[in-house]
Every structure is written in structure tokens, then in C-alpha cells.
Amino acid sequence: MNEDDFGGLWAALEPDARSRRRIDARVGGWLEARDTTLAAEWLALFRFEPIAAIGLVGVSAVALITTTPLLWLARALS
């Protein structure tokens, strides 16, 4: 669903001003409740999947270490 579809549905419903405010507040609350920081997501990953989290941290570290030299090599070869 894109913004145009949503606008069309909104126009079809034609809620009054009080209903629009209530709907906007509920949608805003839902979106804010789903917002999590990256740190919170990593902590949740460690809590639920400690082995996978350690693996992801290891892969991330290797990727950070190897990316810069590989980029230098790619630039030197081109």
C-alpha cells in the first residue's frame, strides 16, 4: 500500500476531525512502539540467540577489518 492508496481509503472513510485525531494518535503510537534502537535489537539478539549473535559479531568484525584493504586493492587495480 502506498501513500496514494492510503489517501484514497482515507477519503472513502471520511472520518470526522475527532476520529482523524484518534486514528492519527493510534497510528503514531504504533509506529513509535515499533521503533527500536540498533543497540536494543543487538541486545535482544544476544538474549534470544547467543550463539548466532556471537557469530554475527565475529562476521561483522571480519568484514570491517577486510573491507578497507579490499577497497584499496580494487581501486589500485582499476
Q: How do residues 16-30 score in pLDDT, each as one tens digit?
A: 778 778 888 888 887
Instruction: Kindly calculate the radius of gyration of the chain based on its CA atoms and give it in whole angstroms.
Output: 23
What are the cell numbers at 67? 573491507
C-alpha span between 27 and 35 (Å, rounded): 13
Residue 1 has pLDDT above 70, yes or no: no
Mean pLDDT on 4-16: 72
